[in-house]
């Protein structure tokens, strides 16, 4: 409660919610009071004079480990985005509990202000909320502090005077008329499965695995209607259905049920396409690990063949050192060759394409997966990536496909912009195609470090092994360090440019 004490005025009591034994009644009875709530967005009712001001600070996203997993590894960003919007709306509505109830909502800090300025966030809100946000933003930007306080007084005194009704309400009405609510793709599907989610987790908590699995099956079915936008969330629930079904089948000594659970894992993996988190999960009892995907098999075969033919260990270690030192440089003449050599160490056909407007390096794993890399190592770590640089990235896979003599790049291929800049131009975000992603140079350096570790282990352990043993060693070592092609793609595509916050 230290933050709440800092906010309180001299002589104002500060209420610690942990000490409240009878709901919010003690707080509501105070003449003046500050109630500090950490990550609490629902379950509070403070109507009328019980609360006239709510201050919101920070975006309530990725509230726990599961949400961080869903947003990154499971690619279920739409589900998390819907939760975040709901929390913000609930937080703002704690003190407006009816159509005639009024309160001031203070948006503190740049993070939440930027979040509430994003077109996709604003468009998903009801017209009434869109109008209030627009009015509040314009008032804050166009008026000085004294004028803002004058508006606050007019708002709080609207039952006694006509100023607010005559001067502010017409503007709010105009904003409402032009506001259109456009729900993000998949929103209806996510909303339709909320009840089943609650029942699923309650059943799992009670150890009722068969009931939990039934609800998980229904969630996956409903969420599936959201198409590609909810595919990651669907795969997550399919995996939970598999895990809970397996638990239920084990209790019932049901071999057929356990086989069905294993089949569900395979289906979830297909929904995730190249998403590798399912493959990295420990297999169910008596379940063998899935064979390598075609993409990963290309890299394993390439590296194993190289080891089988015999390698000059000193030369490989020098190559690794050159990659790491080159990736530490800002000069494109040093950074870009290192990027290409890193691709070679990852088992890709890696090179810098010839021709005008081509990217700086490509990593091709046969006809299974391509990564086109746009290196901006000489960028200053301030400002934004320019719109023209994003537009250039949009074309890279098409140009690469043309150069390779095919119509389109393999499914799941991606273009990755590597830059130390903290942001991307707003127009670039709007115009970015789905395959364009953004990473910081530090992430490429991490991949290079893991690659070096893998090669050191391969050089040490491959001697004296048979051909099948070498291939098994390569597959296991790459997977353990997260540098199979599917895993590398996953690591470099956490942040689609068109989904990046402005």
DSSP 8-state code for residue 167: I
Max CA-CA distance within the chain? Answer: 91
DSSP 8-state code for residue 496: B
What's this model's pTM, rounded to 2 decimal places?
0.64
Q: Which residues pair with 374 in a beta bridge?
A: 417
What class has domain 2-176?
alpha beta
Q: Alpha-carbon distance 336 to 353, whole Å?
A: 12
Query: What is the pLDDT at residue 118?
Result: 79
- φ, ψ of residue 416 to 5 degrees: the values are -120, 120
Query: What is the pLDDT at residue 166?
Result: 87
Reported in sequence order, the residue ranges of 366-430 that DSSP labels E, i.e. its strands, are 369-375, 384-385, 414-418, 423-424
How many CB atoms within 10 Å of residue 184? 17
The burial class, CB within 10 Å (0-12 / 13-18 / 19+), for 320 is buried
Contacts of 114 (CB under 8 A, 6+ apart): 501, 502
For residue 264, the surrounding DSSP H or E stretch is: helix 255-271
Cα first-last separation, the chain: 32
Give me the helices (H) in 39-107, please: 65-71, 77-92
The size of the chain, in residues, is 502
DSSP 8-state code for residue 60: -
Query: What is the pLDDT at residue 4?
Result: 37
- φ, ψ of residue 291 to 5 degrees: the values are -60, 155
What class has domain 298-499?
alpha beta
Q: How far is CA 418 from CA 58, 226, 346, in A?
A: 28, 31, 18
pLDDT means per 10 residues in the chain (502 residues)? 38 45 70 76 73 83 75 74 84 73 84 82 87 88 87 85 87 90 85 93 95 96 89 92 94 90 87 71 68 90 94 93 96 96 97 94 96 96 93 96 95 95 89 94 95 95 92 92 91 83 40
> Would you list the domain boundaries of the chain?
2-176, 192-272, 298-499
Give counts: helices (H), strands (E), the chain.
Answer: 25, 11
Give me the helices (H) in 104-186, please: 110-115, 119-123, 127-142, 145-156, 163, 169-178
SS3 call for 55 = strand
Q: Alpha-carbon distance 1 to 10, whole Å?
A: 16
- φ, ψ of residue 364 to 5 degrees: the values are -115, 120
Give the pairing of strands 423-424 and 414-418.
unpaired
């Amino acid at each position: 409660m230290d933050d709440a004490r800092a906010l309180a005025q001299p002589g104002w009591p500060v209420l610690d919610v942990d000490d409240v034994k009878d709901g919010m009644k003690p707080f509501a009875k105070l003449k003046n009071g500050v109630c500090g709530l950490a990550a609490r967005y629902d379950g509070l009712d403070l109507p009328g004079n019980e609360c006239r001001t709510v201050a919101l600070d920070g975006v309530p996203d990725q509230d726990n480990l599961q949400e961080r997993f869903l947003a990154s590894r499971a690619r279920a960003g739409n589900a998390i985005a819907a939760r975040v919007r709901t929390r913000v709306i609930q937080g703002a509505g704690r003190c407006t509990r009816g159509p005639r109830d009024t309160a001031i909502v203070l948006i503190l800090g740049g993070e939440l202000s930027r979040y509430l300025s994003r077109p996709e966030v604003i468009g998903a809100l009801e017209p009434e909320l869109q109008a209030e946000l627009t009015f509040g933003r314009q008032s804050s930007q166009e008026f000085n502090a004294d004028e803002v306080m004058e508006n606050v007084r007019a708002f709080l005194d609207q039952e006694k005077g006509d100023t607010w009704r005559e001067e502010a309400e017409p503007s709010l009405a105009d904003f409402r008329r032009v506001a259109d609510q456009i729900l993000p793709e998949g929103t209806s599907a996510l909303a339709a499965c909320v009840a089943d989610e609650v029942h699923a987790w309650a059943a799992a908590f009670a150890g009722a695995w068969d009931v939990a699995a039934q609800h998980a099956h229904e969630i996956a079915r409903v969420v599936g209607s959201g198409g590609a936008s909810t595919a990651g969330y669907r795969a997550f629930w399919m995996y939970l259905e598999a895990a809970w079904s397996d638990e239920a089948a084990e209790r019932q000594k049901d071999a057929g049920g356990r086989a069905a659970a294993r089949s569900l894992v395979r289906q979830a993996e297909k929904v995730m396409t190249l998403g590798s988190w399912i493959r990295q999960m420990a297999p169910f009892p008596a379940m063998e690990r899935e064979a390598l995907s075609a993409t990963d098999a290309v890299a394993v075969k390439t590296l194993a063949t190289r080891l089988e033919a015999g390698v000059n260990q000193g030369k490989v270690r020098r190559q690794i050192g050159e990659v790491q030192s080159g990736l530490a440089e800002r000069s494109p003449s040093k950074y870009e060759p290192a990027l290409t050599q890193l691709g070679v160490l990852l088992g890709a056909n890696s090179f810098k394409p010839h021709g005008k407007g081509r990217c700086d390096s490509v990593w091709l794993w046969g006809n299974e997966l391509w990564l086109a890399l746009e290196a901006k190592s000489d960028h200053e770590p301030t400002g934004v990536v320019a719109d023209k640089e994003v537009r250039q990235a949009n074309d890279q896979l098409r140009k690469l496909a043309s150069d390779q003599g095919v119509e389109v790049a393999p499914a799941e291929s991606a273009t990755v912009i590597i830059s130390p800049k903290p942001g991307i131009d707003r127009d670039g975000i709007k115009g970015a195609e789905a395959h364009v992603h953004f990473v910081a140079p530090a992430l490429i350096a991490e991949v290079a470090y893991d690659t070096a570790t893998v090669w050191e282990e391969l050089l040490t352990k491959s001697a004296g092994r048979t051909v099948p043993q070498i291939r098994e060693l390569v597959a296991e070592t790459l997977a353990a360090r997260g540098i199979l092609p599917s895993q590398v793609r996953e690591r470099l595509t956490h942040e689609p440019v068109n989904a990046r916050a402005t």
